[in-house]
Chains A and B, each alone.
Chain A
Amino acid sequence: MKGSIVLGTLALLGLMGALLFVTINEVDRMRTAEAAYAARAVETGALEFESRCRSCHGPQGKGTPLAPALNTAALFDGSRLAAAGYAGTVDDFVRGTISAGRPVPSAGTNYPQRMPTWGERFGGPLRDDQVDALVSFVMNWEDRATAEATAAPELPAGEAVGTDITQTLPEGDAGRGQTLAEGPLGCAACHTLSTVGPAWAGEGATPGIGARAAARLDEPGYGGAATTAEQYLLESVVETNTYLVAGFEANIMPGTFGARLTPQDAAHLIAYMLTFN
């Protein structure tokens, strides 16, 4: 009987010891598990993004002519929220946009289609947890997008193309110009339809931007300094308010491209624009 009592007491102590062991590690375990589930949500979001979002927003969320960039500082520094007149947080903005879509375009944008609804309760295919995972994935761009923006300041004066349209530019490559226009420069966002800026491609009887540039010089209303089509295009990019195409207002086109482009990039861009006839 003594043996049984000793054994029983030991078992009870063992049980309490085991519980104590779990208790000691519990806070750490919960913290790790929480981080792990947050991390797995990013993974799930990445898969969803690959299958549902990349075709319009680009594989790395850098934007395409069809949809704006998400992997960009503008989304996280509040400027896009301000442009949309949105008063909530970035997180809510992203969640709301994914779930409910965008019935009307934001000011200053000109995408061919509106963002569709993705959330199940708005008629889309995604459950709440999938939308949440997508939000986690998009929000995970914040660090890099912000760092990229601060790490790439405007080019120093000597290296930027500036506003002198008579300078001789190096040889340009239309293919690389297209990459620039549809990628980091974002030209395609506004110059695909003629809602915000004139479309580059020809529409109906109107020829493309390349042909229009050459014809522009002889138009009576033209008040700029360009003497060739190339100069006219460079002027339009770097001296945006010198000549305004009829029907478009001043200051819609950002005036900073003279400081952002190298002469080589400007040449690529112009070569690309000249391919639209």
Chain B
Amino acid sequence: MAIFRLHLPFLDEVKVKGVKTAVKNKVDDVVTRITTGMNPTDVRMLLRDDPVGRPNPRLKPHTESFWFHIKPTYYNQLMDGFYPTFRLGWLSTYFFVFEIVTGIYLMIFYTPSPVVAYENMRNILSNVPFGDLMRDLHKLGAEAMVAVVALHMLRTFVTGSYKKPRQFTWLTGIILLGVTLFLSFSGYLLPWDQLSLWAVTIGASMVEAFPPQIVGTTLNLIVRGAPEFGAGGLLRFYLLHVVLLPAVGVIALSVHYYKVVIHGHSLPPEAEAVGEDTAKRIPMEQRVYFMPKIITRELFYVTGLTGLMILLTALIYNAPPLEAHADSLLTPLHITSPWYFLWLQGLLKIGDKVLWGVIIPTGLIGMILLLPYFEVGPSRRYGARRIGLSAAAMSVAALAVLSFMGSPWYKVTSSPDQEAVAALAPQTHPGPLREAPWDQLAFGTYRARQWDAAPTPALQALLQLFDEELIKAVGPEQRDAEAIMIVEDWQTDLKKITLRVLWTNPDGSPYEFSQSVYLHRDSEYGG
């Protein structure tokens, strides 16, 4: 008696029908299973875009396969062009997946602890194959995602697509915008260098301002894990970044997408009568089937876009270089939050932290979130929504102005000596001195005012910049200010560059500020 009996039906088939027919039938069967309902002939006809008979086998995957059942079977011809979607929603989804893939690669080499996080980053950038590429892709993808998601929201507002019956779709979209922003923001801290620590500190300081004080203090403790960022804060931000926010994102994205499919893509405002929603009633002659047209195009987008992103990072884009190790005792000059939060930093500069940093942003976000529930005008036509569109235009302009106000160019005062030195050797990025060709930094003492006497072009350019920045920083009343640069041979392959600013105080006493920068032959700040 056999304990175990092997039975292959395929062999019976071969016995009955012969090898050739049996193999052909088997292949048909396997292809049909994989495509959930299309045999090889159907696939071939699909690829050729041959006319399709009834019942349409290309609809089968939409009912039977998980991945295709969430895609609409056909689209309205009006939605097939670039306008009115600009593909922004699709792009948002693409970048969400793109960030997950590149993020998982980075996760393999990263430990969220202040003891090793920075060392891990250096390892990723120098000792992990494709580590630098993945970090650049992840960063570029994140910035692109913020921009794309924000533009998607703007587009939805402009075409009035948030109106009935899509109010809840809008609400989940705003949640997704928040998820995107906070994903970017929480990821900012993880490299654990000076830039990440201080940029995130600016944002997190708003939490502390939340009134009353006991609430602010408690919230701050919850967010940072301690009064200041440290082991607890880094771990919390990491968990936010890789667990909580992605989970909220996946759920909100699923609901958002489901709602889009249920209600249909909202048509261009001028395509339907006021107050009507005809997105789900697509006349036969206006249908564009997902298979084959949309699916081939989306596959093309994915490959083309991914290739483009890789080329961009390989040739042009570089994520900000790793700064010095995070140090909570050393605040760098001119630290800014990430560009998509500059408007908040601008708001904070206007005045009271509680009013401008907490109450107004919270109010604005709440208003945007609930917009479709109180803005209930029936018309989606541009001409009928002059107030709404003007408000949108003004908001965009206000964001731009506030972002400028958030930058260091607006209302930031520090001492002119530090300004002039920081122009050459900034504390938040490499800057002109570190990027200058090392060999051209000839030993000697140079006066910035006599920059044209310097022996090498790089030195001349640096000294000229030093001179200009000093004149700009001290203003007309301090004309005797002098900038000096000293280049010394310090060690094997190591030069010491001392930047010195001297002037006479109004009371006649001499003033001196000096900062040294050490530069190694191989440090490669230039690229």
User: Do the two chains bind?
Assistant: yes
Cβ contact of B310, chosen from A4, A7, A22, A32, cutoff 8 A: A22
Structural contact, A15 and B310, CB atoms closer than 8 A: yes
Cβ contact of A42, chosen from B48, B300, B314, B494, cutoff 8 A: B494
Interface string of B274-312 (1 = CB under 8 A from A): 000000000000000000110011011001101100110
CB within 8 Å for A42 and B518 given contacts A1-B292, A19-B310, A30-B129: yes
Q: Write out the residue numbers on chain B whose beta carbons fall within 8 Å of the beta carbon of A182.
A: none
Q: Is A137 an interface residue (CB 8 A)?
A: yes
List residues 1-18 of chain A with CB under 8 A from any CB of chain B.
Answer: 1, 4-5, 7-8, 11-12, 14-18
Interface string of B91-103 (1 = CB under 8 A from A): 0000000000000
Interface size class of B (residues with CB under 8 A): 35 or more
List residues 110-150 of chain B with CB under 8 A from any CB of chain A.
Answer: 115, 118-119, 122, 125-130, 132-133
Interface string of A35-49 (1 = CB under 8 A from B): 111111011101100
Interface string of A19-63 (1 = CB under 8 A from B): 101100110011011111111101110110010000000001000
Cβ contact of A39, chosen from B130, B307, B325, B521, cutoff 8 A: B521
Interface of A is mostly: helix
CB within 8 Å for A43 and B494 given contacts A19-B310, A33-B126: yes
Structural contact, A1 and B491, CB atoms closer than 8 A: no
Q: Which residue of A lies closest to B521 (CB)?
A: A39
Stretch from A140-148, A151-159, A227-235 forming part of the interface with B: A140-148
Q: Is B524 an interface residue (CB 8 A)?
A: yes
Q: Is B11 an interface residue (CB 8 A)?
A: no
Structural contact, B126 and A36, CB atoms closer than 8 A: yes
Distance between B267 CB and nearest chain A CB, rounded to angstroms? 25
Cβ contact of A22, chosen from B125, B130, B297, cutoff 8 A: B130
Q: Write out the residue numbers on chain B whose beta carbons fall within 8 Å of the beta carbon of A164.
A: none
Structural contact, A1 and B516, CB atoms closer than 8 A: no
Interface size class of A (residues with CB under 8 A): 35 or more
Q: Which residue of A lies closest to B296 (CB)?
A: A4
Structural contact, A43 and B303, CB atoms closer than 8 A: no
Q: Write out the residue numbers on chain A whose beta carbons fall within 8 Å of the beta carbon of B129.
A: 26, 30
A39 to B519, CA, bound (A): 8
A-B contact count (CB 8 A): 118
Q: Is A130 an interface residue (CB 8 A)?
A: yes
Q: Is A127 an interface residue (CB 8 A)?
A: yes
A21 to B310, CA, bound (A): 10
Structural contact, A4 and B130, CB atoms closer than 8 A: no
Q: Is A77 an interface residue (CB 8 A)?
A: no
Q: Which residue of A lies closest to B519 (CB)?
A: A43
Q: Is B47 an interface residue (CB 8 A)?
A: yes
List residues 469-527 of chain B with CB under 8 A from any CB of chain A.
Answer: 490-494, 496, 516-524
Structural contact, A15 and B306, CB atoms closer than 8 A: yes
Cβ contact of A36, chosen from B119, B292, B496, B522, cutoff 8 A: B522
Cβ contact of A141, chosen from B118, B491, B496, B516, cutoff 8 A: B491
CB within 8 Å for A1 and B126 given contacts A33-B132, A36-B524: no
A18 to B126, CA, bound (A): 20
Cβ contact of B47, chosen from A5, A16, A46, A128, cutoff 8 A: A5
Q: Write out the residue numbers on chain B whose beta carbons fall within 8 Å of the beta carbon of A249.
A: none
A32 to B521, CA, bound (A): 12
Cβ contact of B300, chosen from A8, A30, A33, A137, cutoff 8 A: A8
Q: Chain A residues in contact with chain B, CB under 8 A? A: 1, 4-5, 7-8, 11-12, 14-19, 21-22, 25-26, 29-30, 32-40, 42-44, 46-47, 50, 60, 127-130, 137, 140-141, 143-144
Closest 10 CB pairs of A and B: A15-B307, A39-B520, A1-B49, A33-B126, A46-B518, A36-B524, A11-B304, A39-B522, A18-B310, A11-B303
28 contacts across the A-B interface (CB closer than 8 A): A1-B48, A1-B296, A5-B47, A8-B296, A8-B299, A12-B303, A14-B303, A14-B311, A16-B307, A17-B307, A18-B314, A21-B314, A22-B310, A26-B129, A29-B132, A30-B127, A33-B126, A35-B524, A36-B126, A42-B493, A50-B516, A60-B490, A127-B325, A128-B115, A129-B119, A129-B325, A140-B491, A144-B491
Given A38-B522, A40-B523, A129-B118, 14 more pairs with CB closer than 8 A: A11-B304, A14-B303, A14-B304, A18-B314, A22-B133, A34-B127, A39-B521, A40-B520, A46-B491, A46-B494, A47-B516, A128-B115, A140-B492, A140-B494
